[in-house]
Amino acid sequence: MTTKIMQHVLQTALSSGFSATEGFHSDKPNKVDPLFNGMEAVLPQSFVPQTSTRITLKGKKSDVQIPWMSIGAWPWGDKATWHWDPKEREGLNEAWKYLVDNNITSYGSGESEVICGELVKDMPRDKFIMQTKYYVVPDNFKNIFTPASAPYKMLKESLERMKLDYMDVYMVHGHIHAGSIKQVAKSLADCVDEGLCKVVAVANYSVEDMLQMKEELAKYDIPLELNQCEYHVMRRLPETEGMLRTCRENGIQFQSYSSLAQGRLTGKWTPDNEPPKTYRFSSYPIKEIQHTLDVVKRIAEKRGVSMAAVALNYNISKGVNPVVGVRNLEQAKSNLQAFGWRLTDEEIREMDSVSIEGKHTKLWQQG
């Protein structure tokens, strides 16, 4: 199930005093319409994900091969949302060594980028993949006063923090940037043409905005290769609204963040031990989602794997490339249990039957 030849991918994440999870969320989960055909997105049972399995992202000059799971680095250094404690660094180092030995990946900006850079500093550059985001929130003067060139300037700063010459995947964090999609596409093209990044992507884009960005990038012979939105069995909105289908029809890989619903799908939280209020994605009271969690737990126990592994295998089975947070060795081992097997169609239907559609938020989640 594990190999020693895995190429490692890091995707950095947000790390600022502003909590990117802030927004307006209903505490009542809205179930997916039982008539919706969730099997349309499911990959053939002949596909069984391994840690060595790769997804090809096309670039103008060169392609990037990413594994079927990326390790999200957002919590690393983020005290505002994730209550990061510097004492956790030793456990993170253990987790990173385990992931390197077993072939996996990560993502952030600011402090998490610094940590990512430190973790890979002794690795050959062709042995890991790094993915980071253009942080679009207007708390940075570049986004306000020079919106047309902000993506280019901020990528150079990210590379300096990580002490890297180029980024493998550079992602626009959301369509709330001051510059137009046309301006952002031009700045991304400059990044590619100057060798600062290989592949470009977006996050939290709606179907319409994603296709517009694809069209603008095509003017520079640059493909749009990835859209990252929140997706899991408790937020299937990108699937029910047609995002997954549109991505496949246009050769765009769909990637999920908050793939474990900020820990809710791991069994860590209970009605008597709710997640912190800063964990705002899919922020339903545990009692309201217990039926969904019970199904995930039952499948996990039957298969002898963690609940996290079942939730992540569900995403992969739908063709979704999950980003998942890791802070210690135990979490790393739990997540890697998602490889080497597949949920049956019957198990997927069972999870679909207790799934939640979810909603958009006014700020980030347009996709």
pLDDT at 153: 92
Q: Tell me if 364 is assigned to some domain.
A: no
Supply the range of the domain harboring residue 258.
Answer: 8-353
Q: Tell me if 210 is assigned to some domain.
A: yes
pLDDT at 271: 86
Q: Tell me if 143 is assigned to some domain.
A: yes
pLDDT at 24: 44
Q: Residue 54 carries which side chain, given as an amino acid letter?
A: R
Cβ atoms 245, 40 nearer than 8 A:
yes
Task: Retrieve residue 100's tokens.
Answer: 């390197």
Distant-in-sequence contacts of 21-26, Cβ < 8 A, 24+ apart: 21/81, 21/262, 21/278, 21/279, 21/280, 21/281, 22/280, 22/363, 23/280, 23/361, 23/362, 23/363, 23/364, 23/365, 24/361, 24/362, 25/280, 25/282, 25/283, 25/359, 25/361, 26/359
pLDDT at 78: 43
- Does this model's pTM top 0.75? My answer is yes
List the chain pLDDT tens, one digit each, 367 residues.
Answer: 333 333 444 444 433 333 334 444 557 899 999 999 999 999 999 999 999 999 999 999 999 999 999 887 644 434 334 344 455 556 666 766 767 666 665 554 455 777 777 878 888 888 888 888 887 655 555 545 566 788 899 899 989 988 999 999 999 987 877 789 999 999 999 999 999 999 999 999 999 999 999 999 999 999 999 999 999 999 999 999 999 999 999 999 999 999 999 889 999 888 888 877 654 555 788 899 999 999 999 999 999 999 999 999 999 999 999 998 887 788 889 999 999 999 999 999 999 999 999 988 766 677 6
Q: Tell me if 362 is assigned to some domain.
A: no
pLDDT at 96: 64
Instruction: Reduce the DSSP state of residue 200 to 3 states and report it.
Output: strand
Q: Tell me if 363 is assigned to some domain.
A: no
Q: Tell me if 227 is assigned to some domain.
A: yes
Q: Is residue 130 left, alpha or beta, with left meaning phi > 0 and alpha meaning psi from -120 to 50?
A: beta
Task: Retrieve residue 45's tokens.
Answer: 């049972």
pLDDT at 298: 98
Distance (Å, whole) CA 142 – CA 152: 10
CATH number of 324's domain: 3.20.20.100
Number of domains in the chain: 1
Q: Tell me if 361 is assigned to some domain.
A: no
Q: Tell me if 220 is assigned to some domain.
A: yes
> Any residues with CB less than 8 A from the CB of 323 and at least 6 apart, and which?
11, 69, 70, 71, 72, 107, 228, 255, 256, 257, 259
